Structure 1
Amino acid sequence: MYVPQPDGTTKRKYAYGRDYDECDRKRRELIDKSNQGIPTPTRDMTLNQWFDYWLEAIVRPYLSAGSYRTYEQTTRLYLRPYVGSKVMFKLGVKELRAAMTTLAGAVSSKTARQALRVLSASLTAAMEEDFGLTRNVAKLVHVRASTDRGESWSAVEVLRFLAEARRRTVYYPALLLVCLLGLRRAEVCGLRWENIDLDLRTLWVEQQLQRTGAGTVDVDPKTETSKAPLPLPAQCIAPLRWQRMRTAWLRERALASGRLWYDDPAGHVFVTRTGQPWQPDNLYQSLQRVREMAGLGKMNPKGLRKSCGTLLVHLKVHPRVVKAILRHSRISTTMDIYAEALDPDVIEAVSRLDLLLRQPARLERLQEAVERPD
């Protein structure tokens, strides 16, 4: 019979079985899928054809715009040129490993590993769609690459950064929220005045600002656990009040002088000189400019968020409290920060062990005490 393909075309497909009844049952299953509009790929479908269906029918409707953009770019730049022409059902470990090795040599091992993750996600979706794919070849191939765990700043470096930000940028309150509450940059830019209660000193993370094909829109946070009320530190109150007065002053000046002004119906906290919502890319640029002026090492908003978690570790805050502040979906993510941070107790324990092993006479006395009969 002829069945629909993921790319919108139709192809002839055969049903095989041990007897007539089994063949007829499989044929009826194909007819039911066809009537429901469910594609049934043939055995010669290429990965390029599957990527087209996967991106438009699975990724775009159910994942965020940022995830779709990442998957689309990875498939277009790194997967289609190297494995796109391969037949999905015939893709083997050996040829996939060779393709990833070539990609790692042409670009980088880190890029090859990211491409392998995206391919694995797409093949897992193909298995869930019940197309007849029985194994995920991408999970059987490994690319060795250096692990970039990211850097974090000490308390002194964070203070130097904030002191410089207060002098250099009017968006100091935004950078202050990243340092003290570990907000993501899209969450900072998506903040609205209705999400902040300056009297009760409370902030609610309800949405984040993202750029999509349709423009800049507010979307739900990364995970459900990201939606949470957070206490506003005392030093954030005055800068946020100043930010609100600055926006009102910019609006009055623009209307009085006839300049362009965009009345933001959502009431975002951080806006540009023309009233438009401040973009996450602008936050990144402000961070880099302040960092260079302060003479500090490389850092990005994600690393600054991690610095918040690292400082909480040094303050001996319980992991579950750190998880609540950073709003991680899994405690394992929080524990990764704990594992990387040098806890003062660990430093003291290693120092005491070092001191013990540098005293031979004391070790001899301990040995005698162990060997001495009761």
Structure 2
Amino acid sequence: MYVPQPDGTVKRKFAYGKSFDECDGKRRELLDRANDGIPTPTRDMTLGQWFDYWLEVIVKPDLSPGSYRAYEQTVRNHLRPRIGSKVMVKLGIKELRGAMQRLAEEKTAKTARHAVRVLSAALTAAMVEDIGLTRNVAKLVHVRAATDSGKSWDAVTVLRFLAAARRLTVYYPAFLLLCLLGLRRAEVCGLRWDDIDLDNRVLWIEQQRQRTSAGTIDVDLKSETSKAPLPLPAQCIAPLRWTRMRTAWLRERAISRGRPWFDDPQGHVFVTRTGRPLLAENLYLTLQRVIEAEGLGKMNLKGLRKSCGTLLVHLKVHPRVIKAILRHSRIATTLDIYAEALDPDVIAAVGQLDRLLRQPARIRQLEAARSDSEAAG
């Protein structure tokens, strides 16, 4: 029978079965899909054609706008130019490995590894369709790339930064939340007054502000673990109250002077001078101005979040508690930060062990003490 394709064309497709009833059942399923306007890819579909269908029909409706944008950019910039013309069911491990190695040489190994992950997700979705794809070759291709979880600051540097931010920017409360609670930048920009209970010192993260094709809007969080309530540190209360008073004062001044003012119906905590919700890009630029004025090293908003986790590690907080504060979906993400931050402790422990093993008298003393305890037992 002839079935519609994702690119709008129509192609012939065969249905096979061990019996007439099995084959007829598959034929009827294809007919039902065609009558409902659902495309059925054929075995000669190229990866480029599948990418178009996968992004628009599967990724865009099911994933967040940020994920769709990242997948689309990876397909457009890296996958389509290199393997887009390949027939999907004929893609081999050797040619895919060669394409990814060239990508790693032209760009970076990290870029190539991310491209393999995106391709793997696309092929996994293709295996669900009845097009004859029986294996995901992307899962058999591995690209070695150094894990770079980003830089973080120690406690002294964080205190220096916060002291400078308090003097230099009205968004000091936002940086407090980034450093003390490890909020994500999109969560800080999407924070609303309805999500904060200043009297009981509790904060809820219900949405994040993301740039989409429809503009910059508030979207739901990726996982339910990110919506857990957080205790609001005491030193955040006064700055947040001041922020609310400042917003009211800016509104009254703009209205009295006939200047434009945006009445935010959602009541975002951090707004600009005209009342519009603060963008992550503006918060990043403010961060860079404070860093430059104080003479600190390079840092971004994600690094402030990681600095929060690093400081919690040095305070000997259990990884599961850190996971709850940073609201990681997987404990492995927390353990990556935990392991990296504990490097000085590991070095100190190895040094102590080295000193112990270089003291034969001390070892004999420990052995004697153990013998005495066993005899007493």
Question: What range is the shorter-chain TM-score in?
Answer: over 0.9
8 Å CA contact 1:208, 1:219 repeated in 2? yes
**In structure 1, what is the equivalent of residue 204 of structure 2?**
204
**Which amino acid letter does the alignment assign opposite residue 95 of structure 2?**
E
Measured in 1, the distance between the counterparts of 2:312 and 2:366 equals 38
Measured in 1, the distance between the counterparts of 2:368 and 2:195 equals 68
**Between the two proteins, what is the percent identity of the paired residues?**
76
**In structure 2, what is the equivalent of residue 305 of structure 1?**
305
**In structure 2, what is the equivalent of residue 172 of structure 1?**
172
8 Å CA contact 1:162, 1:175 repeated in 2? yes
Q: CA distance change for structure 1 residues 62 and 342 in 2, over 3 Å: closer, same or farther?
A: same
Which ranges in structure 1 are unaligned for 5 or more consecutive residues?
none
**Which amino acid letter does the alignment assign opposite residue 350 of structure 1?**
V
Counterparts in 2 of 1:73-152, with a 5 A limit?
73-152=73-152
SS at match of 2:334: helix
Measured in 1, the distance between the counterparts of 2:261 and 2:357 equals 70
**Which amino acid letter does the alignment assign opposite residue 66 of structure 1?**
G
**In structure 2, what is the equivalent of residue 161 of structure 1?**
161
Measured in 1, the distance between the counterparts of 2:296 and 2:278 equals 24
Which one is further off, 308-317 or 68-77? 308-317
Which ranges in structure 2 are unaligned for 5 or more consecutive residues?
none
**Which amino acid letter does the alignment assign opposite residue 244 of structure 2?**
R
**Which amino acid letter does the alignment assign opposite residue 100 of structure 1?**
M
SS at match of 2:209: strand
**In structure 1, what is the equivalent of residue 292 of structure 2?**
292
SS at match of 2:100: helix
TM-score (norm 2): 0.92
Task: Provide, for residues 163-200 of structure 1, a one-character-per-residue CA deviation record: whole Å limited to 9, x for no partner.
Answer: 11111111010001000001000000001111111111
SS at match of 2:85: coil
Task: Provide, for residues 290-344 of structure 1, a one-character-per-residue CA deviation record: whole Å limited to 9, x for no partner.
Answer: 2222222222222211111111112122222211111111222222222222277
Q: CA distance change for structure 1 residues 22 and 224 in 2, over 3 Å: closer, same or farther?
A: closer
**In structure 2, what is the equivalent of residue 251 of structure 1?**
251
**In structure 2, what is the equivalent of residue 235 of structure 1?**
235
**Which amino acid letter does the alignment assign opposite residue 113 of structure 2?**
R
State the shift of 1:60 in Å: 0.8
**In structure 1, what is the equivalent of residue 283 of structure 2?**
283
Is residue 48 of structure 1 aligned with residue 48 of structure 2? yes
Counterparts in 2 of 1:264-283, with a 5 A limit?
264-283=264-283
**Which amino acid letter does the alignment assign opposite residue 356 of structure 1?**
L
**In structure 1, what is the equivalent of residue 2 of structure 2?**
2
**In structure 1, what is the equivalent of residue 316 of structure 2?**
316
Q: CA distance change for structure 1 residues 136 and 368 in 2, over 3 Å: closer, same or farther?
A: same
Measured in 1, the distance between the counterparts of 2:130 and 2:14 equals 17
Measured in 2, the distance between the counterparts of 1:368 and 1:272 equals 71
Task: Provide, for residues 131-165 of structure 1, a one-character-per-residue CA deviation record: whole Å limited to 9, x for no partner.
Answer: 33111111111112222122221111111111111
Counterparts in 2 of 1:339-350, with a 5 A limit?
339-342=339-342, 346=346, 348-350=348-350
Measured in 1, the distance between the counterparts of 2:10 and 2:244 equals 59
8 Å CA contact 2:262, 2:276 repeated in 1? yes
How well do the aligned residues superpose, as a CA RMSD in angstroms?
2.3
Measured in 1, the distance between the counterparts of 2:20 and 2:241 equals 78
Which one is further off, 341-350 or 144-153? 341-350
**In structure 2, what is the equivalent of residue 30 of structure 1?**
30
Aligned residues: 373
